[in-house]
Amino acid sequence: MTGPASVTRMSLHTRGNWFGRLLEPSLSLNAWLMYLFMYAPIVILILFSFNASRYASSWEGFSLRWYQVLFNDRAIGLALRNSLLVALLATAISTVIGTMAALALERYDFWGKLSFDALLYLPIIIPEIAMAVMLLLFFILTRVQLGLGTVIIAHVAFCVSYVAVVVRARVAGLDRTLEEAAQDLYANEWQTFRRVTLPLIMPGIVGGALLAFTLSLDDFVITFFTTGPGTTTLPIQVYGMIKTGVTPEINALSALMLVVSVVLVVASLVLQRRT
């Protein structure tokens, strides 16, 4: 026989199923609206970068005119050169330091390890504006003239943390028995690292380097506070151009920066997941 308790449970189960069926379309609609809210402006920006009109408020047809203007702009070319120089140097330095830090933190115990670990995560946690002000005060107190050198130092300061986090995750998943097998075959520590450890963690190193390059290339706040006269980078150049109004040339430049950033981030994620 079916008792009152069983009837109550069946009633609650029926109501739960009804509520779930009603809630599922609402959640799906909410997800689509969120995607539309986040990505519709990006699609519009890319679309209007091919606008033949000079004004972003009207569409006059498809044209590659503004990409041609962009590639012939000497100021943008100089800013791109500065950005690439800063990003390449900052990535190279931060990749070496970050990899060494990741290996030290994951493999060895030393005095002050906990404090060093917390300090390494600080650039990821604190607001970017706070780090920019701190770096500016540091350069002022040490009487270092602002320029490309200070920008590179500032970028290394926050890129190291991201490289270390990515590489450390790779080192943590490394099978130590492979290194022990190499040492059993009379390989010394350097040979074991060069022929076994380094190839195994290389996807993490490359992924961290790509992530650092992307962050350095796109950074505006820290660069704005630490740059000097005549050392304009691409994000700062875009900021200066926007002051006079948004033109299709800015849309074209933003679209190219977006594509490059997405490609680098996707490549970094693919390499991090590589087995």
38-55 pLDDT tens trace:
888 878 878 877 877 776
- Residues in a beta bridge with 62: 51
Is a pLDDT exceeding 90 seen at residue 153? yes
Q: What global pTM score does this model have?
A: 0.75
- Residues in a beta bridge with 88: none
70-105 pLDDT tens trace:
778 788 888 888 888 999 999 999 999 999 998 888
Instruction: Provide mean pLDDT across the span 16-23.
Output: 60
More confident: 15 or 256: 256
Res 119: pLDDT:
84
Cα Rg, the chain, nearest whole Å = 26
More confident: 231 or 24: 231
Res 7: pLDDT:
47
More confident: 167 or 50: 167
More confident: 28 or 21: 28
Instruction: Provide mean pLDDT across the span 116-142.
Output: 88
What 3-state DSSP class applies to 60? coil
HEC secondary structure over 199-262: HHHHHHHHHHHHHHHHHHHHCCHHHHHHCCCCCCCHHHHHHHHHCCCCCHHHHHHHHHHHHHHH
**What rounded mean pLDDT belongs to the chain?**
80
Is a pLDDT exceeding 90 seen at residue 160? yes
CB burial string 94-113: b at 16+ within 10 A, e below: bbeebbebbbebeeeeeeee
Q: In the chain, what percentage of residues exceed pLDDT 90?
A: 17
Lowest mean pLDDT among 106-110, 164-168, 269-273: 269-273
Res 272: pLDDT:
62
